[in-house]
Chain A
Amino acid sequence: MNIVGISINHRTAPIGVREELHLSPAEITELVAVLKEKLLSGGFILSTCNRTEVFGIQKDGKVDFNRLLNELLQFKHVENLSAKNFEKFFSCSAVKHIFKVTSGVDSLVVGDSQILGQAKEAFQLAEDLQFTDSVIKRVFDVAIKVGKRSIKETLIGEGAVTVSFAAVQVVEKIFADPSTKSALVIGTGETGKLAATHLKELGVVDLTITNRTIARAEQAAKFLNCNVVPFQNYKDELHQYDIIFSATSSEGYVLTKDEVQRAMKLRKGNPICLMDIALPRDIDPGAQKIDNVFYNDIDSLSVIVDQNMKKRKEEIPNVDKIIVEEMINFYSWYNTLDVVPTIKSMREFFEIIGTDELEKIKNKINDEDFEKVEDMIRRLLGRIMHNPTMALREVAEKGTNTDEVAKHSLMVKKLFNLNGFSPSKENAENKNSNTIKS
């Protein structure tokens, strides 16, 4: 199979370089048009923040990575990159790489589930741009299946692998139903916004944010659909919150132990969860000593992240098994493509014989008898062709020895003298007498 591919990813290039080659959907549409015209009969382009990949089948049947690479570099007007920044794939290795990508094992964060959605979008765009054929479509389908099976059958996507998500995981260990709790996020930088998003995803309805610059807090609140409390007031209502995330760039503590202690008195000992995801720390770690105060900082949350990453990496062999299984299935299907023309020729050969013979008796018997004979011949031919058809398919589906497939195809062709047999020509000659339908 002449599928070729190039990939620039987190292993081969730093983020700055990868950014230069990032392609928007509009750019992909434009590049596909160029590739269709010059180089590929079908394929797809996947571009995310961690990778840009171009895969396809060359029109001329050749394998030329450099042409593919040059087309990409010329399109993006990038000059300072060399072939070393790209991984190259061909045939089996290309298919395997695509499956690895959709399964998440090739991601920067192993088991990243986002990549499956991104791959689906890339495949859909290729289909919309009519940049696919039956083989590429099959690769898409199996790649998606690999991604889904990996999530369902292994633990590759289990556990939090970011600090803010790990914090949410701890919250879930304290409260049975976090959606009924009230939460406060201090700081609306990237980390704060991400934490607020995770809390929203957790179902927290009563979410409030605060920031030194009130305008930024209001902007974030609009985006997150949550409440805002002015920075100078949030300490007065600290006791109202069950969950507090802090992610400011403040040099000192924004919450001291005494302030937490005061809030706990007002809460009558009801538990509070303090997640300090700032560096330097925002909350006095001494607060941890207060009963029913659950305090975590980046260091302790990183322990969860590391544990989960380790577990995910341990799942890679299980994902590899799925990839191998699906590759076997894919190549079983692919190998049958080689015998399809032979099977088609054989069936048409027999159909023509049947049609010829029917033609000979057409005027010698009445219509009712003719229909009976026609039926009988159709069934007869079906039964004769069943075993050789199945045998050819079986040999092809084993997919381990392509010579064996060729040998069987040649044998059938020789036995029935199918070499040089042109079904379409014969069909044209017999067009008027083609009464048998396979």
Chain B
Amino acid sequence: MLGLIHTLNIFLLFAYLITTFAYLSDFIKRTDLLNNAKRVFLFITIGIHLFYLLARTIEFDHLPIINKFEIFTLLAFAIAFSYFILELLSDVRGTGVFILIISLIFQTFSTIFIEDLVIVPEVLKNRLLGLHVISALLGYSAFAMSAVYGLLFIMLYKQLKLNRFGLIFSRLPSLESLEKLSYYSVIIGFVLLTFAMAIGVIWLPEAFPNASLLDPKLVSTSIVWLIFGVGILAKAVGNWYGKRVIMFYLTGFVVAMLSMLFTNMMAKSFHVFY
């Protein structure tokens, strides 16, 4: 089993490389063959990745959330899987390369640095924590996807305003589609983050009886949650459209990333496990 896990770890990197390259090639020079083949590659890659994660969970008797590089491979999977579902639902196939490149980067680091972990800290053995981490990761993956769609929106918006009709113009879907994809990703991310926060609140007194509700991690996550919540309301109720709402989501994502960096590296929080 261990040998299989090691082989899959290396094979996954190549699978992501091939899939991302297929999406890139199709973006540059669209062909019917690549247009269909790239989706098959992605499906196979996700399938192998899922099998790899299950194999790790069974072999090491814990969910792959114990160190950074396990988290990275889980993030790579979450992003690729979320994109696959979104592509199936929307049938917008031209943006995959911009999303899958993130999965490829995470998987590359994971493949190189991941270790076989058998000893797990007591605090990380809780099942609720597993749910909390996985839903938070999926949520942040969705925010990342929303940010990518937001950036693509801004790129296409500028091209259209400047009357430049290059590769971005010919390959990307319409502005309205990009905005919708960004919006849906934010909604999914918001729901998952809400779920993760709810589990955290339930689990917190049990795991850390003395933890403060003013902990930097909790405060910064609440701010991120609030920003995206307002963004969703602005679109749904305030009828915000286009650049304004996209800029709001992008700001939310930047705040989320900065808060993660700040709380993990600078602030003193109970929420640092690695």
Contacts and interface: CB of A to CB of B under 8 A. Distances in A.
B78 interface: no
A103 interface: no
A176 B165 contact: no
B173 A176 contact: yes
A172 B174 contact: yes
A173 interface: yes
B160 to A, nearest CB: 5
Nearest to B164: A303
A288 B176 CA distance: 19
Given A172-B174, A173-B175, A175-B174, A271 B165 contact: no
B161 A288 contact: yes
A269 B180 contact: no
Given A176-B180, A303-B165, A170 B239 contact: no
Interface stretch (B18-26, B139-147, B240-248): B240-248
Contact of B176 (A175, A268, A300): A175
B177 interface: yes
Find the residue from A172, A174, A177, A288 having the highest chain B CB count within 10 A.
A174
A173 B241 contact: no
Contacts of B156: 173
B160 A292 contact: no
B254 to A, nearest CB: 21
A294 interface: yes
A268 B240 CA distance: 8
A173 B161 contact: no
A113 B83 CA distance: 37
B177 A176 contact: yes
Given A288-B161, A294-B160, A303-B163, A176 B174 contact: yes
B163 A269 contact: no
Contacts of A296: 163
A269 B235 CA distance: 13
Contacts of B244: 269
B169 interface: yes
Nearest to B165: A304
B163 A292 contact: no
A270 interface: yes
The interface centre, meaning the residue of A176, A269, A296 with most chain B CB atoms within 10 A of its CB, is A176
Contacts of A172: 174
Interface string B243-269: 110000000000000000000000000
A150 B180 CA distance: 36
Nearest to A271: B242
A158 to B, nearest CB: 10
Interface string A324-361: 00000000000000000000000000000000000000
Nearest to A268: B239
A126 to B, nearest CB: 35
B176 A292 contact: no
Contacts of B161: 288, 294
Contacts of B165: 303-304, 307
Interface in A143-200: 170, 172-177
Nearest to A270: B241
B163 A291 contact: no
A174 B175 contact: yes
A271 B175 contact: yes
Nearest to B168: A173
Given A170-B160, A174-B160, A175-B175, 7 more contacts: A172-B174, A173-B156, A175-B174, A176-B174, A291-B243, A292-B242, A307-B165
19 contacts: A170-B160, A172-B174, A173-B156, A173-B172, A173-B174, A175-B174, A175-B175, A176-B174, A176-B176, A176-B177, A176-B180, A177-B176, A270-B241, A288-B161, A291-B243, A292-B241, A292-B243, A294-B160, A304-B165
Interface of A: 170, 172-177, 268-271, 288, 291-292, 294, 296, 300, 303-304, 307
